Structure 1
Amino acid sequence: MDGLHYEGMIIRPPSEADSIILQITRGCSHNKCTFCGTYKGVRFGIKDEAIVDRDIDYAAKNLQFLRRVFLADGDALILPQERLVRLLQKIRTRMPWIQRVGLYGNAKSILRKSLQQLKELRDLGLGIVYLGVESGDPQTLRDIRKGVSREKMVEAGRRVRQAGIKLSVTVLLGIAGRERSLEHARATGSILSEIDPHYVGALTLMVLPNTELGRRVQEGTFEVLDPRELLVELREMLAHTHMSRGLFLSNHASNYLPIKVKMPTDKERALALIDEALKGRVRLKPEWMRAL
């Protein structure tokens, strides 16, 4: 065996760059979001357990310098509890030096797990769940076909936190277009306040041609925000976000203005920085440097 076994495109959060990536599933169990082109044409499936076992053996022998594991693809939490328990037990037994296991979980897969089941996974090493909220605006959630209500999103996020697992939430600047920009920003700040996650990653929409949203842009039925409008949206979102602690980040490669805000102490300073950028006194990232 020459390395870990991967099928198709593998994605992971930026914070998992130095993790062992074990592909447990192929694709995304939802795969209907209008803005996402990652798994178009890929039928969701769970990989054969024997293949995953061989990957764990390989990692145990060859990747001892890495301290974290990330379970890919788009929604590894969808696995039946018994399979996830076996998987985490194998990681703990064969790679006892691993400090944290992370995975993506959508609201539906989180809510399929009871609080007790999530605590069981936590006790076996699951340390962080990445949840794509995108927006707190009910209309925007329907428009992008997220497949879950605002209320269910809040319930899912809180359940992860109640289980003692760190929660990292992703939201999307620009996803509501020009028409609902401020409604999206305010409602997203509100939902982040309700969930109170450990981390927030505010990414900026990058329209892909192979998506429904890409077609809408071509047709002229969706207006993409310019950099200044995105800054206004970011400011409004942050102003309406009231977290008891944690980090609010907009330092992803897609963002025009990278910020890292320790909540709540750095919030006013970050708002002032955005105001300076809106006045043209802070240089924004050039378009050619932006990436997914």
Structure 2
Amino acid sequence: MRYQGKIYRPWMEADSVLIQTTLGCSNNQCTFCTMFDDKRFKVRELEDIFTDIASARQRHAKVESIFLIDGNVMAMRTEKLLRIVDKIRDTFPELQHLALYSCFNDFRRKSVADLTALRTAGLTTAYSGLESGDPVVLENIKKGMTREHAIEGMARAKEAGIQVLASFIFGLGGKTRSREHAENTTSLLNIMQPDAIAPMALAVQPGSELAAQIQRGEFILPTPLQLLEEEKYLLENMGDFPCYYWGDHGNNIASMKGEWPAVRDPFLAHINEHIAYNPMAKKNVIETYAW
């Protein structure tokens, strides 16, 4: 496979074949992220993508899961993305799962008819970075998205039948806006009701704008206890809508995953145990590793 630049995929897609369809991220300005700082956003040529699809077929006798990279693949024109999805389905008739990255704004920029066509063609899942539901935090991190944008994008994806995993970051409000970040993110999730969520602990990426803000004293890192309390608030206040809780990212202090809402009580017991007994909860500095 002819991958270009740094390659990322969600940890849930560890067993998926990766097909690079775009380079970089069309937003690529979030203060906390350096994932695609080595390239400018570009949609690859169909001929190159089709060559990689054929190469993947030659390498793998059986492929049940494919993930399309790089960032927000959904940003490309629907007609082109449909041709890619059709080619993949024709090449891998045994395929069960086809997923990609998509900003919520990418959903908004397509009609429900376009999204439905993609779902009918074989697209099953989209991973979308919500990051926060707090308007101040969203503006501070330069997400280029509002709460209203996220709600509208989620509604379109739901209507089209595309499953959406919404990821967000504990600690992104810093030390001073931890409570608002937790409350507003939880309230937004209750409105959107995604099919799955992936809460992650804040990890400061070297070279990011956020790292520079921390160095200048403009962003004060939250404590590990604040991260745990943010997750506790989420567990106590998220509605009973069905979704899968992927809370097992490597940076998370209390790792847990399962079907929501059945896991609410055991997850709360788990988080309370970490708050009471985990030595990390007593530290003043979060300890996470870069992606």
- Normalised TM-score (structure 2): 0.94
Report the Cα offset of residue 51 of structure 1.
0.8
- Distance (whole Å) between structure 2 residues aligned to residue 154 and residue 90 of structure 1: 31
Distance in 2 separating the partners of 1:149 and 1:289: 27
Give runs of aligned pairs for residues 1-292 of structure 1, distance below 5 A: 4-280=1-277, 290=289, 292=291
Q: CA deviation at 1:127?
A: 0.4
User: What are the ranges of 5 or more consecutive residues in structure 1 without an aligned counterpart?
Assistant: none
Could you tell me whether the CA contact under 8 Å between 1:255 and 1:290 is conserved in 2? no
**Cα deviation digits, residues 78-107 of structure 1 (max 9, x gap):** 111110111111111111111111000002
SS at match of 2:169: strand
The percent identity for this pair of structures is 34
Q: Is the 8 A contact 1:81 1:117 kept in 2?
A: yes
Question: What is the aligned-residue RMSD (CA, Å)?
Answer: 1.8
Look up the SS of the partner of 2:207 in the other structure.
coil
What is the deviation of 1:221?
Answer: 1.3
Contact in 1 for aligned 2:19/2:68 (Cα 8 Å): yes
In the alignment, the residues of structure 1 paired with residue 23 and residue 159 of structure 2 have an alpha-carbon distance, to the nearest angstrom, of 29
Stretches of structure 2 that go unaligned for 5 or more consecutive residues are none
Moved more, 275-284 or 100-109: 275-284
Moved more, 23-32 or 150-159: 150-159
Secondary structure at 1:270 match in 2:
helix
Please give the TM-score of this superposition, normalised by the length of structure 1. Answer: 0.94
SS of aligned partner of 1:102: strand
- Whole-Å separation in 2 of the counterparts to 1:44 and 1:61: 28
1:125 & 1:257 partners in 2: Cα distance? 35
Secondary structure of 2:124's counterpart equals strand
User: Offset of 1:269 from its aligned partner?
Assistant: 2.2
CA distance in 1, matches of 2:256, 2:140: 28
Shift of 1:213: 0.5
User: What SS class does the counterpart of residue 33 from structure 2 fall into?
Assistant: coil
Distance 1:290 1:39 in 2: 18
**Corresponding residue pairs, total:** 288
Cα separation, 1, equivalents of 2:278 and 2:104: 40
The one-letter code matched in structure 1 to 2:188 is: I
Residue 273 of structure 1 and its aligned partner are, at CA, apart by 1.6
Of 76-85 and 242-251, more deviation after overlay is shown by: 242-251
- Change in Cα spacing, 1:265 to 1:282, as seen in structure 2 (3 Å) is farther
For residues 267-290 of structure 1, the C-alpha deviation after alignment (integer angstroms, 9 at most, x for no partner) is 122112211211116988x98885
Displacement after TM superposition at 1:114 (Å) = 0.9
